[in-house]
């Protein structure tokens, strides 16, 4: 016997699943958020037909196609040595997915050549990644300049107590990020986050990260330099960043990185209830009523799931805050 409500249930489930899939694609495909860029000085200029230009094109192509599931960081060289060789790397934020990393690096490799069309040295920062290139080898070298300061325009309440909490948290994160924890077969993971209570209704979220090619000592030193700049750029502000070529730090009073929830310990499993008898017959004269009941249950539930997913995605999108940006004067 054919039950008409089965088709209704199937169609409702298809609508719900399709809606959730489209929502996941829309949130995943969000464009990388550009922060800042710096081009080298006029003493590092290349000509359009130079060897460096050819090597730079090859370098950017290699960078944008070499972020694998094991690599949120990658460095490489194009060319056999100076003066025509190009050296470059990218670093993705330690909590982003490989798809987000790939999109950010691809965008950065295209954007940096537009913003710095003739300089042999360039840096570009996004919220999700950074990319740089040079005409000299800098791999494994700690570079603390050039640097960029960014701060939230809003002031924090109780600035002295907040500064103490921020300093203690950053100190802890610097030690954690500079410890030797394996990232892959070649590098260690130099990324750490922490969220702590500031008030009953407000939390402090902090992040630090170094390029994984740095030694533990150089990573710690780079982060300490950046942390030491916070009182000068961001004192009393609700959020701030210091961007450097070899490391970066950030803090906010809202979550801006992926927070991994800790699963609670499982409770004892209750004994299973005896199964209810299942009838495969359709009582005469009640088919229409059963279909209406199924529709009344499935459709509202399906719509509720879709609306909940839409609301969750909208709330989880990180709002753009007003930020002031200053590049350090060398």
Q: What's the fold here for domain 28-134?
A: Killer Toxin P4; Chain A (3.30.430)
Q: Where exactly are the structural domains of the chain?
A: 28-134, 148-257+321-327
pLDDT in tens, 141-182: 999 999 999 999 999 999 999 999 999 999 999 999 998 665
User: Residue 248: which of 206, 283, 286, 281 has the closest Cα?
Assistant: 206
| Counts for the chain of helices (H) and strands (E), in that order | 6, 11
Separation between Cα atoms, residue 298 and residue 224, nearest integer Å: 57
Q: What's the fold here for domain 148-257+321-327?
A: Killer Toxin P4; Chain A (3.30.430)
pLDDT at residue 312, rounded to an integer: 44
Residue 24 binned pLDDT confidence (cut-offs 50, 70, 90): very low
Residue 258, Cβ density class (10 Å: 0-12 exposed, 13-18 middle, ≥19 buried) = exposed
pLDDT at residue 42, rounded to an integer: 77
Residue 43 binned pLDDT confidence (cut-offs 50, 70, 90): confident
For residue 195, the cross-strand partners are 205
């Amino acid at each position: 016997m054919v039950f008409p409500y089965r088709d209704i249930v199937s169609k409702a489930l298809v609508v719900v699943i399709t809606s959730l899939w489209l929502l996941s694609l829309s949130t995943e495909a969000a464009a990388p958020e550009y922060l800042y860029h710096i081009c080298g000085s006029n003493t590092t200029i290349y000509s359009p037909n130079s060897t460096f230009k050819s090597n730079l094109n090859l370098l950017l192509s290699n960078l944008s196609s070499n972020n694998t599931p094991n690599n949120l960081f990658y460095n490489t060289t194009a060319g056999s040595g100076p003066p025509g060789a190009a050296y470059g790397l990218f670093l993705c934020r330690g909590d982003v997915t490989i798809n987000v990393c790939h999109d950010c690096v691809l965008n950065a490799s295209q954007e940096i050549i537009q913003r710095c069309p003739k300089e042999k040295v360039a840096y570009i920062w996004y919220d999700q990644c950074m990319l740089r290139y040079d005409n000299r080898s800098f791999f494994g070298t700690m570079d603390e300049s050039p640097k960029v300061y960014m701060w939230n325009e809003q002031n924090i309440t109780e600035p002295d107590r907040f500064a103490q909490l921020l300093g203690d948290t950053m100190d802890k994160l610097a030690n954690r990020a500079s410890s030797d924890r394996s990232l892959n077969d070649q590098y260690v993971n130099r990324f750490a986050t922490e969220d702590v209570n500031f008030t009953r209704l407000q939390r402090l979220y902090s992040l630090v990260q170094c390029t994984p090619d740095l030694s533990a000592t150089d990573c710690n030193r780079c982060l300490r330099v950046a942390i030491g700049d916070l009182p000068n750029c961001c004192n009393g502000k609700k959020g701030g960043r210091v961007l450097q070529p070899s490391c970066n730090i950030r803090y906010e009073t809202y979550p801006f990185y992926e927070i991994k929830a800790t699963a609670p310990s499982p409770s004892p499993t209750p004994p299973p209830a005896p199964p209810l008898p299942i009838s495969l017959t359709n009582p005469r004269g009640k088919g229409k009523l059963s279909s209406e009941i199924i529709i009344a249950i499935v459709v509202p539930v399906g719509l509720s799931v879709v609306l909940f997913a839409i609301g969750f995605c909208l709330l989880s999108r990180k709002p753009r805050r007003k930020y002031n940006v200053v590049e350090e004067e060398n």
